[in-house]
Chain A
């Protein structure tokens, strides 16, 4: 993808390393607790039940809907081209991600995950319009 060239992304830590490792294989995961709660970003404690020993990463479908978005017209760093679209997307699994969209959407649009590779082998999830057969209900 050439429409988005990310700046430097800080290294993972012990709470986020496994999530980032999955991105190397273009797999989107969501941290899920034994209690059924799902959360993002991954952390050492479940915000649903408080347990620290029941959290695992589960593969996400990559399907999402646009919760809201903004078109940014002023660059926060020198080498980013404007305008660009920053959005909140709600994964089919529940959690909300901040992301980039290729083009201005409408709120409620179905989108699907794509990947922008980082120089260190990790990848950033971005979202593109879903094909009709991928639309979530």
Chain B
């Protein structure tokens, strides 16, 4: 099935430690993605972005000199961009926009803006009832989820470390990856790294880098006249589960399951049809829970699924083929880069890390403290 909408351009901004401004990085991402599509800013009538300012899409439209007929600045952390694909597809089908750019960029590494406790908003209930206890936001929530998961299913810390070990293997194949030249790591390296919020060490946590990306969407009909092979949006779904550390009854049950089920149903596929998987790996446990939510295995089976190098280069389930947030790039809201890589894999653009014959890809974003979950299924006809 198809939504009748396609991704026709995709690009990264400069990544890593850039010394550039957020809007400078946004400009790189957007103009490179448009150039990839063979389009220009004059073609764009829809903008979806976050992390620019309080008026994110408005700010970006002003910066580019565009008066959009449609915008979206839904703030849903790292999953926002997968949600934007759904909104954009609906807007394009409905005729409210014809060419939509979805983008994000951050200079958080250069600007040193990341805080361990998160952003403090004195008026939300969490400020009275949770922040006084000094949880790290988001690391302590993922630490508690990992603790609960390993306790419930009896997995080992070393098994969970495989997520980071496999990510590094992919990064070694990706010249753009922050850890491209950092060499292999072992499970013992991950487990033995300095503890952040137990059982998660600094090697279980995503990078803090600058970076950004953009994708360009239009109707499949128009896409057929453009320069690149269209990547069809086959399906999408999302779940929004909580903001509090205490809402969800069981931290081992991810909202990804509902999100993925909706996306697969729209696309008319099952997990078995997916050739390449790009999931949010803010932490090793995020990726493990997402694989279960996405139906690649049952609850409690993710650590067996990823064993024996199955998600490494050459494995049966290619996962986070850039090196992921753990070894490639994590600018704070990483979800747009999941889409960029999924598109590149489907087009066969990925050089040494290319998954051969990839026809269906899933990009799955997670925001906040396992708060928001959004799945996009993409496909290309070969």
Contacts and interface: CB of A to CB of B under 8 A. Distances in A.
A117 to B, nearest CB: 13
Interface string B214-248: 00000000000000000000000000000011110
Interface in B93-137: 115-118, 122-123, 125, 127-130, 132-137
A99 B125 contact: no
Among B136, B194, B249, find the residue whose CB has the most chain A CB atoms closer than 10 A. B136
A86 B115 contact: no
A35 to B, nearest CB: 18
Interface stretch (B195-203, B333-341, B360-368): B195-203
A49 interface: no
Contacts of A96: 246-247, 249
B197 A72 contact: yes
User: Size class of A's contact patch?
Assistant: 35 or more
B144 A88 contact: yes
Contact of A100 (B133, B137, B246, B249): B133
Interface residues of B, number: 37
Given A69-B144, A73-B196, A97-B246, A7 B116 contact: no
Contacts of A76: 115-118, 134-137
Among B116, B127, B198, find the residue whose CB has the most chain A CB atoms closer than 10 A. B198
B132 A74 contact: no
Q: Taking chain B's interface residues, is the majority helix, strand, or loop, or is none over half, making it mixed?
A: loop
Contacts of A45: none
Nearest to A99: B133
B148 A67 contact: yes
B285 to A, nearest CB: 11
Among B145, B148, B199, find the residue whose CB has the most chain A CB atoms closer than 10 A. B148
Interface stretch (A8-16, A51-59, A128-136): A8-16
B151 interface: yes
B35 interface: no
A124 interface: yes
Contacts of A70: 135, 140, 143-144, 147, 197-200
Contact of A41 (B128, B135, B194): B128
Interface string A20-50: 1000000000000000000011010000000
Contacts of B198: 70-73
A80 interface: yes
Among A70, A72, A74, A80, find the residue whose CB has the most chain B CB atoms closer than 10 A. A70
A72 B155 CA distance: 21
A71 B197 contact: yes
Interface of A: 6-7, 9-10, 12-13, 16, 20, 40-41, 43, 67-77, 80, 83-84, 86-88, 95-100, 107, 124
Given A41-B244, A75-B134, A99-B133, 16 more contacts: A7-B134, A10-B127, A67-B148, A68-B148, A70-B147, A70-B199, A72-B134, A72-B198, A76-B118, A76-B134, A76-B137, A83-B195, A86-B133, A86-B140, A97-B129, A98-B129
Interface of B: 115-118, 122-123, 125, 127-130, 132-137, 140, 143-145, 147-148, 151, 194-200, 244-247, 249, 251
